[in-house]
Amino acid sequence: MSLYRFDTHVHTSETSPCGRIDGAMVARLYKHAGYDGIVITDHYCSSVFNSIKTKNWAEKVDIFLEGYRNAYEEGQRIGLKVILGIELCFDESFNDYLVYGIDEVFLKEHPRLYELGLKKFREFVKDRSILIYQAHPYRSWVAPADPKLLDGVEVFNGNPRHNSKNHRALGFAKENKLKMLSGSDFHQKEDLALGGIVLSECPADSKEFAQLLRENKVVELLDSE
């Protein structure tokens, strides 16, 4: 059986203010590290979009997608699958949510998702092929969300500059029977290949990636600890 290694939580410098590596280089680094694909989950929040000066929402989204598109183009060239996701932070709290199953059209047609709040967003996407995983729910400035509003939890976050208390995230997921993910939370070179998942099939795009997660096609969680 073929197996496919994907990192589920990756940022680019073009879009995420905390990112230090541009999308094309991110793709090359992960290809060299032996991964088959990555999900670009740049920060989607009010501060990021407010910093983009154009008032036209479609133009804002095009600028937001620059890091993803650069990674995607380089991935096409070198043979690395690059999937679109977002790390969504609502105005209501500092919690972060990894969202899978979205595409560029969805982001352009539905502006300012960060204004909805988790409960309204959950209701908004419940009939769509979109999954919501809470990222690092036990860092000091965030709190676990209502599990009824989640599909899953990032139970391993590999970022070496934060104490994500991964063991508590794992316990939360198990207690509430939520799906589980691992991700590197890549921002700079020292974060490379510190997490991810192994899939039994290779997704073509974000919707297929979400479908594989929904169908429990994750055969291994990668854990740098």
Closest by CA position to 51, among listed 90, 11, 17, 96: 17
Q: What domain count does the chain have?
A: 1
pLDDT digit string (tens) for 130-175? 999 999 999 999 999 999 999 999 999 999 999 999 999 999 999 9
To the nearest whole percent, how much of the chain has pLDDT over 70? 100
Report residue 224's pLDDT band, with 50, 70 and 90 as the boundaries: confident
Query: Between 66-78 and 57-64, two packed helices, what is the crossing angle to 10 degrees?
Result: 50
Distance between CA atoms of residues 198 and 181, nearest Å: 10
Name the average pLDDT for the chain.
Answer: 97
pLDDT digit string (tens) for 26-44? 999 999 999 999 999 999 9
CATH of the domain at 27: 3.20.20.140
- By residue range, what is the domain housing residue 18? 4-223
